Structures are given as structure tokens and as C-alpha cells.
Amino acid sequence: MTQSDKRGTSRPSCDHPNPGKSGPEWGPRFEDAGRKLEEAARRLEQETEKFLRYLNDEVVPEVRQHSSQGLRRASREIAKFADYLEQTQKKSR
């Protein structure tokens, strides 16, 4: 049996996921699926927290250390280049 909604389209008259099946038959399946989803969500949260701790404790300090070393090296190279430019300007005068 179908009913018309406001737009005039037909839809099943029952909101049950499977109108041919009774509620008690579906109940345990949905409860089991719900428990599995809750457990999956809980594990996902735990793994996400573990991943963020790893990033903050291991990756970020390593990146900062290498970044600061790279900046210091670039600074030395820029200073050398500035010295070179000054020397070539003095020679060309």
C-alpha cells in the first residue's frame, strides 16, 4: 500500500525498513549493528588520539629541528652571497 506525499509521488505507507518483516525479528540485528558501530567509533577515537600524540611528540619537533637547521644554513649562504656581491661591486669601480 502506498501514500502520496505533498509532491504527489508515491511512497510506502510503512516507515519500517522492511514492511514485510515484523519488528522483533529485526531488533537483534539492529542492536548488534549498533554495538559494532559504537565499538568502531570508540576505536577510531582512540586511534586518532594516538596518531595526534605521535604527530605532536615525534613529527613536529623533528620538523622544527630540521627547519631551524635549514634556515641557519640558508642564512650562512645568503651572508656569503652578500659578501660576494660587495666584493664584485668594489672590483667593478
Q: What is the pLDDT of residues 38-48, one digit of tens each?
A: 999 999 999 99
Number of domains in the chain: 1
- pLDDT band at 78; cut points 50, 70, 90: very high
Q: Round to whole Å and give the CA distance between 72 and 80.
A: 12
> In this structure, is residue 82 part of a structural domain?
yes
Q: Round to whole Å and give the CA distance between 2 and 14.
A: 8
Q: Round to whole Å and give the CA distance between 20 and 28.
A: 17
The pTM assigned to this predicted structure is 0.46
Q: Round to whole Å and give the CA distance between 65 and 72.
A: 11
Domain that holds residue 52: 26-92
> In this structure, is residue 18 part of a structural domain?
no
pLDDT digits (tens, 9 = 90+) for 15-73: 555 555 555 566 778 888 889 999 999 999 999 999 999 999 999 999 988 898 888 99
